[in-house]
Chain A
Amino acid sequence: MSDAATPATQRTLSGRPAPRDRRYRRTRRPGELPFALLFMGFALWLFSHLGTEARWIPRLNWFQQPALWPAIAIYGMLFFGVLNLIASLMAQGSERDRREILTWVAALEYVGWYLAYAWAVGQIGYLPATMLTMLLLVWRLGIASRASLFWAAAFALGVVVVFKALLRVGIPGGRLYALFPPDIQRFLSVYF
């Protein structure tokens, strides 16, 4: 069958969509469809809680209703979420969704590092925790060299001096500081 005889919506022999069909066949980014589904799922979950988690109070003006703005927001999320899902479904599929999701999961390791660092600050103090985190991260990232370890330690010291000693940002001393004599403990708590 010649190309001229191919119906517009039918695929060509090469497997590519026929010209009129192409407007619908944007290529999907890896991870786009899973994200669209996740977002819709989240919006639907919020919608299912709209009646219980936000109140409509009888005999109160509509513009004063506590549930008005959550409802506007959730209906907006649903409206745009549906459009986004349709657009994703109509696009040409990606075979790399799984790999992309694994990348999202891999990022959680560093979220773990971040939370562990935050916990360590309360235990061993801001300076030791920052120093330790920077040095271990540089090692974990595979960029450890004498120079990078030096700069990691210098950076950690600089951050603590700038934020805690100079700007006096409110970060309490670590529990470890309690092991020191009172004067040293006070000094460490104020500056490090």
Chain B
Amino acid sequence: MDTLLSAIDILARWEVLAALIIGSVGGVIVGAIPGVGPPVAIAIALPATFAFDPIVGLTALLGIYGSSMYGGAIPAILINTPGTPVNALTTYNGYPMTQRGQAARALGLAYGASFIAGAFSVICLILLAPVLAVVAPMFGSREIFLAAALGIVLVILAHRGQMIAAGMMAFFGIFLATVGMEPIRYTRRFAFDQSWLAQGIDLIAVVLGLFAISQALVLLIEPNKRPKAARVAGSFWSGMRELGSHKRVAGVSSATGTTMGILPGVGEFTAQFFSYTYAMKTSKTPEEFGKGSPEGLIASESANNAVPAAAMIPLLALGIPGEALTAMMLSVFYVHNVVPGPGLFQNSMDFVVALYLALLLLNVAVLAFLLVSTNVILRIIEIPTRFLGAAVLVLSFVGAYSMRNSLLDVAVAAGFGVIGFILRRLDLPIVPIILGMVLGGIMENRLRTAMMRVDGPLDFINRPIAAILFALILLVIALGLRSAWQDWRRRAE
């Protein structure tokens, strides 16, 4: 109870509440604009949050992260264009409902499912927090090394059909983390006698380049588009009430999203895949899927909205980001010398609970905002894509330059912008680079610490959690290879 009161005390500051509202409204808007999305917005906003307390900065970023998928459902349902990549599955059933004149019903279902899933995952995590406080300290250096290694393996295997490319990018990210002065012997690695390389490659510059500048280049190069969306007539309440008839699908999808969110490297797409498949297999009308099925819409929206809160678990409890957005948030902790990990749950449980409560409030604020402003957001969707590209390019400068007022950082970000642009053109994954960069650094440090305390390689896994994680890595690799083999055989037939 004391923890809860202390958490409320942390939240009850005007800066935190302002960050919550600005983040959540901003998140809905960037989510609703196809071609922007939360990674671009978080990459741009990240350096600006460094000036604030961690709770203020993280609340604003969480606001963007947690609310963007609500916004992404709007163009997915109304104009058949997902606002964020994770809303792609929503188009399958949302757009056919719009074509039948049921746009308000589809949006009501999407908003309701998103809210239920968001609230469900936060409540699960609040209930789980005391358990995590007991379990997290059992993670020593070797367990954190193995969990980070599991994250790398999962991020490669989660890119079905693109595992080789994901592997290339993950190891490229690990390489980037090694450039510069090495922290133990202070030797230079791959600095080529350049002082700017000896300082290492800054994660923020890489993130800005790969996510924001590359997206700006895509928008600037491609032909100008101006999406048109008709005004939504009718009430969203009927769709939200209809959710009561699909409690099972909403519940299972929320639980799947929460579970998948906790696993590093997995995320929304896998959660949606399992939820959608479950909903279709157990539906009385599976033939409706892809033609405007409310269950399909609920499954995809619940699954993706349950992930953000859950994705904070590995970050807060172990200091291991599970995907690109939480990897970016990790830098907020580092800037303020706050080390996320087992100690955070032991010593600052009120901070953790405050973040969860902020997520809960965020869902309420977003739902209230959407119920009154959906038609206003439609005007924003109509911004010409090339204008959007110019705007993103200009915004990308702030983050890159404000770190050290260095044109070199801007040039590094621009270089990664070109790399990101090529990867986007080739439809190759970008996220593994960021995760490789963050997890690679963690693995290097943790392996050094862990190996000092073991006599032989087998001692490395002689603790229960380490043994379980090691077995999981082997199991996941075996399952991943099996599934890749089956895919290959299926394509061949």
Contacts and interface: CB of A to CB of B under 8 A. Distances in A.
Given A63-B448, A76-B170, A70 B164 contact: no
B124 interface: no
Given A80-B167, A111-B217, A66 B185 contact: yes
A73 B440 contact: yes
Nearest to B186: A66
A125 interface: no
Contacts of B47: 169
Nearest to B406: A118
B470 interface: no
A110 interface: yes
B407 A130 contact: no
Contacts of B384: 143, 148
A15 B426 CA distance: 27
A39 to B, nearest CB: 6
Interface string B410-432: 11001001100110011110000
B426 A115 contact: no
Interface string A37-79: 0010000001001000111010011011011111011101101
B190 A46 contact: yes
A67 B178 CA distance: 9
A83 B164 contact: yes
B174 interface: yes
Contacts of A81: 168
Interface string B189-209: 111100000000000000000
Contact of B386 (A64, A143, A151, A163): A143
A104 B444 CA distance: 35
A35 interface: yes
B51 A169 contact: yes
Contacts of A113: 393
Interface residues of B, number: 67
A115 B411 contact: yes
Nearest to B179: A70
A68 B175 CA distance: 11
Contacts of B109: none
Interface in A80-110: 80-81, 83-84, 87, 100, 103-104, 106-108, 110
A174 B159 CA distance: 46
Interface stretch (B78-86, B228-236, B255-263, B396-404): B396-404
B390 A134 contact: yes
B220 A77 contact: no
Contact of B491 (A23, A110, A168): A23
B391 interface: yes
B237 interface: no
Interface of B: 47-48, 51, 164-165, 167-168, 170-172, 174-175, 177-178, 182, 184-185, 187-192, 213, 216-217, 220-221, 224, 384, 386-387, 389-391, 393-398, 400-402, 405, 407, 410-411, 414, 417-418, 421-422, 425-428, 436, 440, 443-444, 447-448, 451, 488, 491-492
- In the A-B complex, list the 8 residue pairs whose CB atoms are closest, starting with the nearest: A76-B171, A23-B492, A73-B175, A80-B167, A73-B174, A137-B390, A63-B451, A80-B168
Given A76-B174, A107-B418, A163-B402, 14 more contacts: A54-B190, A63-B447, A69-B443, A69-B444, A70-B178, A73-B172, A76-B167, A83-B167, A107-B220, A110-B221, A130-B394, A137-B390, A141-B390, A142-B224
